[in-house]
Structure 1
Amino acid sequence: MLYKKTPLHEAALYNRSNAVQWLLSKGADLESRDDDGWTPLIVAAANGHTQVVTMLLEKGADVTASDNAGKTALDYAYGDTATILRVHSGNVFISLLN
């Protein structure tokens, strides 16, 4: 492990969904943390990897987990990845136009 990154961190970083699926099937720790306190979910979200984010959430990754700076995956996410995290966390705001 480099800098306390697990194979799941690396698979999430490089958007290797097949590797993520395999690692999860072997019991990889969803909440493992690197030196910065990043979980695999934070890594995937920060890099915009929507499929990996979805896979991790479906396996029960903690959407509220924060890193050493107190930031969550949603703080780093953008685009569709941010939307997926908001929907999963129930943090969805709907505005109705009259």
Structure 2
Amino acid sequence: AAAALDGKMAVVRYLLDNGADPNKKDDAGSVPLHCAAKFGHHEAARLLLSRGASVDIAYFHGTPLHIAAYYGKASVMKVLLEHHADPNKVSEVLGTPLIAALSGTSEGLPESISLKCVKLLVEAGADVNSTNPDTALVVVTTYGLTDCIKYLLKAGADPNIPNSHVWCHANTNRSKLWKKKACGVTISFNFSNSNYIKLDC
């Protein structure tokens, strides 16, 4: 896993040639392919897959595709999707890979990178209306990603699907949330918790 993390191809190849199991999990449950995905080492990912790494192997945070999407590693995402990674697999922590790609912006991922990842997933068959736990539109509105909102709407996202809960906590910067109105969408969520704000736009 350490070699995959550093992208040291010669070391990865040597270990695999000498019987290393590409699907062996560490104490956290991750495998070398998760490490390659996180740090954008697409060549290491391709090598691991060619030697039997499971493309959809998962741990608490999700599959390698979830990890690559969350960290905006489009080059690794392409490799994983070429090897038929499931763009709709649900993670306990990150939801679907589509939600993961959008959520990465909360850690500083630029929207342009997130949008690139979103497009890869949608083109690979990601369900833009999946509710695991909320739709992509609910999540993207929370983060105020207007370009992603426009793309998702054009890709068939339904703005009227009820959400399971609202992500917009009362301390959220509402100025970012109003931007969805510019796309011609009325935001109408049902609220069951007084800690969440109503979006009167």
Q: Which has the higher contact order (CA 8 A, sep 6+)?
A: 1
CA distance in structure 2 between the aligned counterparts of 1:10 and 1:17, rounded to whole angstroms: 11
Using the size of structure 2 for normalisation, the TM-score is: 0.44
Verify the 8 A CA contact 1:48 1:79 in the aligned structure 2: no
Aligned residues: percent identity? 29
1:61 to 85, 98, 101: 85
Superposed counterparts of 1:15-54, under 5 Å: 15-36=40-61, 38-54=62-78
Letter of the structure 2 residue corresponding to residue 11 of structure 1: A
Partner of 1:86: 122
CA distance in structure 1 between the aligned counterparts of 2:50 and 2:155, rounded to whole angstroms: 36
Question: Superposition RMSD on alpha carbons, in Å?
Answer: 1.9
Using the size of structure 1 for normalisation, the TM-score is: 0.86
CA distance in structure 1 between the aligned counterparts of 2:28 and 2:155, rounded to whole angstroms: 40
Tell which structure's C-alpha radius of gyration is larger.
Answer: 2
Structure 2: 5+ residue runs without aligned partners?
Answer: 1-25, 102-113, 129-151, 157-201
What's the CA shift string for 1:50-80, capped at 9, x where partnerless? 1100110010000010101471000111220
